Amino acid sequence: MEVVLAYLLDLLIGDPEGYPHPVRIIGRVVSHLESILRKYAKSDRALKITGFILCGLTVTLAFAATYVLLYIAGLIHPYLKYALDVLIIYTCLATKDLGKAAGRVYEALTKGDIVEARKRLSYIVSRDTDRLDVENISRGAIETVAENISDGIIAPMFYAFIGGAPLAIFYKAASTLDSMVGYRNEKYLDLGFASAKLDDILNFIPARITGFLIVIAAFLLGYDYKNSWRIFLRDRLKHQSPNSAHGEAAVAGALNIQLGGLNYYFGKPEIKPTLGDGKEKITPQRIKDSIRIMYMASFLGLVVLYGMKILIS
């Protein structure tokens, strides 16, 4: 029941700005540990070993700190522990904030303010946005929504149902690590190896669950669920990551659009695999459609995972 309450809390208030969010705390810990550990790693092999230490320390600290905090709360009063469990799980979910962030891009585009739309998109993507046209701004927002249905909602929900707040925070720590050091570039190829692999392992099941949920959401909302299923099966393994394309492929199929293609990162072009057939042009309205699918998929995830927990229990 804690996860259900946490989900409802997330829908109602999202993440208030300015408070000490666990992910921000984890991010500062990762940065601090990285700066310390890099001083002792003088070779590629040492960097890879250091990366395992960084990964292990971060997720262990996150899990242990949450577990101890809940244990202390339980000693004070069982209701305090319950409330804290709900509160911590709530911070791991990003349903409302994901919809709000993509919605802001949509609003700027509908007002014809492409400069503001580029700025708002830059807050939620890592690609360069300063030269994007309306179609590619819309594509960026849709891709962010589609990918984060798993990373920001279904995966933390999945682990919260299994192991409560400690396991949900464990997942968020691994996800934060991957977003900070899990890059395949010269700086992080060795140091981020362990973090990237752990993230791949933890997201393997949730990513596939998410793909199925999006297809069902497309059916319930009146989108092209047959094509969503077809594109999901066909394109879900196109990315280098074994998990990141599942949600995008299912959304692309549901909306009959094509995601992926050319992006720029720090001025350098990078071509991502294309997902979907692109039968229809990507318009700002498709951002709103992707947000609708995201909300429905998150609700379905809650129902399905809660039902599975009851059956197993």
Predicted TM-score of the model (pTM): 0.90
Closest CA to 101 of 123, 78, 68: 123
Give mean pLDDT, residues 285-297: 97
The angle that helices 285-312 and 95-110 make with each other, rounded to 10 degrees, is 170
Residue 178 has pLDDT above 70, yes or no: yes
Q: Name the residue range of residue 263's domain.
A: 1-312
Q: What is the mean pLDDT of the chain?
A: 90
State pLDDT tens for residues 102-146.
Answer: 999 999 999 999 999 999 999 999 888 888 999 999 999 999 999
Give the count of domains, the chain.
Answer: 1
Q: How confident is the model at residue 18 (pLDDT cuts 50, 70, 90)?
A: low
Residue 191 has pLDDT above 80, yes or no: no
Residue 19 has pLDDT above 70, yes or no: no
Residue 60 has pLDDT above 90, yes or no: yes
Task: Determine the Cα–Cα distance for residues 203 and 201; give it in Å rounded to an integer.
Answer: 6
Closest CA to 254 of 284, 302, 294: 294
Residue 28 has pLDDT above 90, yes or no: no
pLDDT confidence of residue 45: 82
Structure tokens at 4: 């259900």
State pLDDT tens for residues 45-54.
Answer: 877 788 898 8
Q: Which residues on neighbouring strands pair with residue 268, listed in sequence order?
A: 265
Q: Which residue has the higher pLDDT, 268 or 105?
A: 105
pLDDT confidence of residue 179: 83
Angle (nearest 5°) at CA 262 between 289 and 283: 25
State pLDDT tens for residues 155-173.
Answer: 999 999 999 999 999 999 9
Q: DSSP H helical segments within 113-192, as ranges?
A: 114-122, 134-149, 155-181
pLDDT confidence of residue 30: 85
Mean pLDDT lowest among 12-21, 239-248, 262-271: 12-21
Residue 308 has pLDDT above 90, yes or no: no
Task: Determine the Cα–Cα distance for residues 217 and 125; give it in Å rounded to an integer.
Answer: 24
State pLDDT tens for residues 197-237.
Answer: 999 999 999 999 999 999 999 999 999 999 999 999 999 99
Q: Is the dihedral of CA 197, 202, 205, 206 positive or negative?
A: negative
Task: Work out the number of other CB atoms within 10 angstroms of the CB of residue 237.
Answer: 13
Highest mean pLDDT out of 12-21, 201-210, 236-245? 201-210
pLDDT confidence of residue 31: 84
Task: Determine the Cα–Cα distance for residues 87 and 81; give it in Å rounded to an integer.
Answer: 10
pLDDT confidence of residue 42: 74
